[in-house]
Structures are given as C-alpha cells and as structure tokens.
Amino acid sequence: MSGGRINRDGYRHYTGALLSPESRFWVVFEQQLFWVIRNRRARLLLLVALAPMVVSVIALMARMGGDAAGFSTDGFVEEMLKGMLIAEVHIGAFIAAAAGSGAVADERRTNAMLLYLSRPVCERRYLLAKGLAVASLLFVAIALPGLLFVVADIMVVANINLAMTGRHALGIVALGALVGTAFGSTVLLFSTLAKRAAYPALAWLALFYFSGMLVGMAGLAGDLDNNLSMLALPILIHRLTSWLVEGVGGPAPLFAALCWIALVLGLLVWRSGRLRKLAVLR
C-alpha cells in the first residue's frame, strides 16, 4: 500500500509550457556546434585551414618587396587568392567529414535520436539544425581565411583597386556559402544512412576524390564534354572558384553547384520521412 502511494505521489507528469519550435531548433543547432568544437580532430583541421592563408600572406609580402625592386604584382593577388581558396576547400572536405559524419549516425547508434524526435523536434527541423551547424562551421573555415587575406591585401598593396577587392570579398563569401551548404548537406545525407561515423566520412571522401579520378580517366579515354567534366567535384570547385574570384568562364559552375545542392536537399527531405522509423529500428 505504501509502495503504491509513494509511486503515485512521486511521479508527476509535466504539464507546463514547452519551448517554442524555434527554440528547440536552436537547441539542436547549438548541441551539434558544440559537439564539433569539442571534437579534437575537427579543431585540428580548423587550425590547419589557417595554414594556406598564412603562407599566402607571407608570399604576398615577399612579392611586394620584389615589386619595390621593379617586379609587377599584376594578376599575382588573384592567382594567390584562387590557389589559397582551392586549398581551403580541400581542407574543408576533411572538416566536413570530421564534423558531419556522426551528426545523425552516432545518435542512431546510441538511440539518442529518439530523445529529439519523440515529441520536441520534427524530423525536418532536426536535420536542418544539424546541417546548418556543419555548414556554418565550413563557411567560417573557408571564408574567414579568404577575408583575412583580402584585409592583408588592402594593408600591404599600394594603390589598391577597391572595386576588384570588393569583388574578391563577395566571391569569397559566396564560395564559402555554396561549399558549406553542398559539403554539409552531402555529409549529413550520408550520416542518415549509417550507424557509425566512420562510414559516412569514408563515403564522402571517396565521392569527392574518386569522382575526380574517374572523370580524369574518362577524359584520357576520349573527348569529354567540358560541362560533363564538372561531375568531378574537385574540377567543379576549381571552376567555381575561378569564376567567383577571377571572373573566368561562364556561370555554368554556379548552376552545377546549385543543382548539386538542390538534389541533396531533396534527398534529405525524402530521408527525413524515415528518421523516426530508423530511430526505433536498431
């Protein structure tokens, strides 16, 4: 009798106000962002992402010393900026693998996803919060070093062309947003397909680098259409960077990147309908 009374009196069903859907969304976002920041490999890769910027600034300062001796810097800044951004994007591929591969897979493995999906957060908001956290980190890793290089360019180069510098800054921001969204959403999609973080990471890196190898082999075997060659993600990123920074080529790389993002986001929306079932099936 006393045991029943203690059990009845001890349990209280919560009937108070719940957080708004927007607040729940930001809770999942902050949780994922803080998890990435605490990840030692992700922190190390973020530090590595600063290395191309440091090398580029040193090369720029050394070239300015040569310019004072009679050497020209025409075109040097754009070439240096493009090379630096391409290096940042390749490092960003590894950051995406470290930051996003376990976003859903680890929570499926531990069944922690049920805590999110049982009532507080809908499936699409859950995936959107996870993806936004990874994409934001990638945006900072790619755009921040580029913008720091632009600031160094303004401080070091005499008679700076402000119109060109502004175009470079806008191109860097656009590249960071596009690459962050594309990489983050793709890794997140792979993460919904596995229960171990290692598998999405390997699948993403294989897609990124093997696509370049396969397209390169196809190009050696015969004539390959210029637009079809952008099926190789490294080639797509190279051409997108050239167009955004230097204005070289047409907007085809931008269209291809947007198609890639739209395809992956569509697959994520479709995948979100199965998350609740996957959270239960272990």
The answer to whether position 31 is within a domain reads yes
Instruction: Name the more confident of 120 and 154.
Output: 154
Tokens of 126: 């859950």
The answer to whether position 83 is within a domain reads yes
The tens digit of pLDDT for each residue in 135-152 reads 999 999 999 999 999 888
Contact yes or no for 108/154 (Cβ under 8 A): no
Residue 101 sits at φ, ψ, to 5 deg, of -65, -30
Percent of the chain with pLDDT over 90: 27
The answer to whether position 1 is within a domain reads no
The answer to whether position 13 is within a domain reads no
Average pLDDT of the chain is: 80
| Separation in Å, CA 206 to CA 71, 101, 139, 194, 234 | 43, 13, 22, 16, 12
- The band of 37, judged by pLDDT with boundaries at 50, 70 and 90, is confident
The answer to whether position 11 is within a domain reads no
| pLDDT for position 220 | 45
Full residue range of the structural domain in which residue 245 is found: 20-60+70-280
| pLDDT for position 178 | 95
- pLDDT tops 60 at residue 72: no
The answer to whether position 103 is within a domain reads yes
Number of Cβ within 10 Å of residue 34's Cβ equals: 11
- Rounded to whole angstroms, the Cα distance separating 189 from 268 reads 6
The answer to whether position 2 is within a domain reads no
- pLDDT tops 70 at residue 247: yes
Find the helix or strand (DSSP H, E) in which 107 lies.
helix 102-109
- Rounded to whole angstroms, the Cα distance separating 210 from 231 reads 11
The answer to whether position 97 is within a domain reads yes
- The band of 8, judged by pLDDT with boundaries at 50, 70 and 90, is low
The tens digit of pLDDT for each residue in 193-246 reads 888 888 999 999 998 888 767 666 555 444 555 666 677 888 888 889 988 888
The number of distinct structural domains making up the chain is: 1
